[in-house]
Structure 1
Amino acid sequence: MNQQFQIDDIILAPGLSIKIRNTIQFKHGQDGFHLWEAGIVLTRYVYYNIMPSKQLFMDLGTGVGITGILVSKYTRVIMTDYNQDVLDNAWLNVKLNQSPCILMQLDWRNHNKISFQVDTIVGSDLVYSGAPLYDLYQTIVKLLKQNGIFYLIIPSSRMCTSEFIDIMNSEGLFEIRKELLEDEKYYQPCLLDREQSHTLYPGLKELKFYMYIFIKK
């Protein structure tokens, strides 16, 4: 890895921050080393709305690991990604925050090898052009317990979202809900220096996100 990394205190809510080692500039295919605005919004949503306890969570496509690290403050969590180098960086963030997380390599295309289930799955920016969407669907089906919930953050402008929703609807296995996140608490600057936050994380100012909630029947 040749990226230039930095460590920042990412502010999630008043009195709550997480140290994250990530890179601002990256090459194609190395986006898992970058902290994306969708991950910040997802982590804030979990904090304000889910408050997990006594459940087994999975942070799917964990990237830098910010959501899984937050969840670990409340309950057990497995942080997964298909890229081992990304997982290695997420592990450094786990150690920075002294979080009791489990990390596991997981490729959606190998969903037939999944042999365990979890109560709740969270993910951000998993749906994009070129992503193996049907494999993602099969992965969710295999991983989730009955009545389990999958929370997925997607930017409002993402063009392939409808394709993924059609796949999730295809076999009638999920109840699907959709919520536009408009409350400003999700979009507050994430750095103490507000101007720097707007520069490095412009999506918190310029984008809106949908939360899709998939409940397994």
Structure 2
Amino acid sequence: MAANLRDEQLFPREFVRNDGLTLNIYQASIGDVGCVVWDAALVLAKYLESADFLNGRLLQDKTVLELGAGTGCLGIIAATFGAKVCITDLESCLPLMQINIRENEEQITGQIEAQILDWNSHEKLTFRPDYILISDCIYYSESVKPLVDTINRLSEPHTIVLCSYEERTSGNKPELQRHFYELIEKTFHVTEIPQNNQDDFYHSSDIHIMKFTKKT
């Protein structure tokens, strides 16, 4: 994705919160998989509005870190509920994240910033997250271990990691998912969020929301 995004390359996807507040998340017609809003991100975003989060009120003043943010959809939605958010991805995604922050700034009641974060680096962000949000990032074989290492490095003992992904059966995707969980389960307790706890409409049998908490 080119750093100088042009208007004709962008198109919005509307996200309507359950209380009617409307966001426009811009996607890019040209670029990598991080340029669009995937269904797994919407399912997780709607879970943030569920009873488990007191319809979003639980996010007030919480610190939220989004990894592999792409469009920044998840983090921006968390920020509309009053969270203090840092959305992160590779440098190529930074312009799109910044556009989406600007386009939705009137709806943001918390704080949000976009930062570059390469999972292959050993950077320690000056950010102590209450929540880490990840969606559909188990995609490339070379990024699985760096992603797990990054989750480990940036998680505090109190951090809750929420990871949503669409179950894919083509190519090497099932093996990547298995490998990811083999690595994660070495240092995290892993549980799945039941569909009954998710949004009444935005859920699917092939989209999973997983919760990770660090082992002591």
Shorter-normalised TM range: 0.7 to 0.9
- 1:90 matched to 2:90? The reply is no
Summarize deviations over 1:62-107 as a string: whole Å, max 9, x none.
Answer: 111111111112210000001x232211111111111331111001
| SS of equivalent to 1:101 | strand
Instruction: Mark the runs of 5 or more structure 1 residues left unpaired by the alignment.
Output: 188-203
TM-score normalised by the chain length of structure 1: 0.79
Which residue of the partner structure matches residue 177 of structure 1? 191
Query: What CA distance in whole angstroms lies between the structure 1 residues aligned with 2:162 and 2:182?
Result: 16
Which residue of the partner structure matches residue 39 of structure 1? 41
- 1:80 matched to 2:85? The reply is no
Which has a greater percent of strand? 1
Q: Write the letter of the residue equivalent to 1:21.
A: Y
| SS of equivalent to 2:139 | coil
- 1:58 matched to 2:65? The reply is yes
Query: What CA distance in whole angstroms lies between the structure 1 residues aligned with 2:69 and 2:140?
Result: 19
How far is the alpha carbon of 1:41 from its aligned partner?
Answer: 1.2
Q: Write the letter of the residue equivalent to 1:114.
A: K
TM-score normalised by the chain length of structure 2: 0.79
Query: What CA distance in whole angstroms lies between the structure 2 residues aligned with 1:105 and 1:40?
Result: 23
Query: What CA distance in whole angstroms lies between the structure 1 residues aligned with 2:35 and 2:9?
Result: 10
Query: What CA distance in whole angstroms lies between the structure 1 residues aligned with 2:46 and 2:144?
Result: 25
Which residue of the partner structure matches residue 138 of structure 1? 149
How far is the alpha carbon of 1:12 from its aligned partner?
Answer: 4.2
Summarize deviations over 1:165-198 as a string: whole Å, max 9, x none.
Answer: 110122xx211102353654214xxxxxxxxxxx
Q: Map of 1:1-217 to 2, 5 A cutoff?
A: 1=2, 4-13=9-18, 15-23=20-28, 25-27=29-31, 30-48=32-50, 49-50=52-53, 51=56, 52-73=59-80, 74-82=82-90, 84-98=91-105, 99=108, 100-110=111-121, 112-116=122-126, 117-157=128-168, 158-159=173-174, 160-170=176-186, 173-181=187-195, 184-187=200-203, 208-217=206-215
| SS of equivalent to 2:9 | coil
Query: What CA distance in whole angstroms lies between the structure 2 residues aligned with 1:46 and 1:94?
Result: 18
How far is the alpha carbon of 1:212 from its aligned partner?
Answer: 0.9
Instruction: Mark the runs of 5 or more structure 2 residues left unpaired by the alignment.
Output: none
How far is the alpha carbon of 1:10 from its aligned partner?
Answer: 2.3
Q: Please tell me whether the aligned partners of residues 12 and 43 of structure 1 are also in contact (alpha carbons under 8 angstroms).
A: no
Query: What CA distance in whole angstroms lies between the structure 1 residues aligned with 2:125 and 2:104?
Result: 29
| SS of equivalent to 2:158 | strand
Query: What CA distance in whole angstroms lies between the structure 2 residues aligned with 1:59 and 1:16?
Result: 21
Percent identity reads 22
How many residues get paired? 192
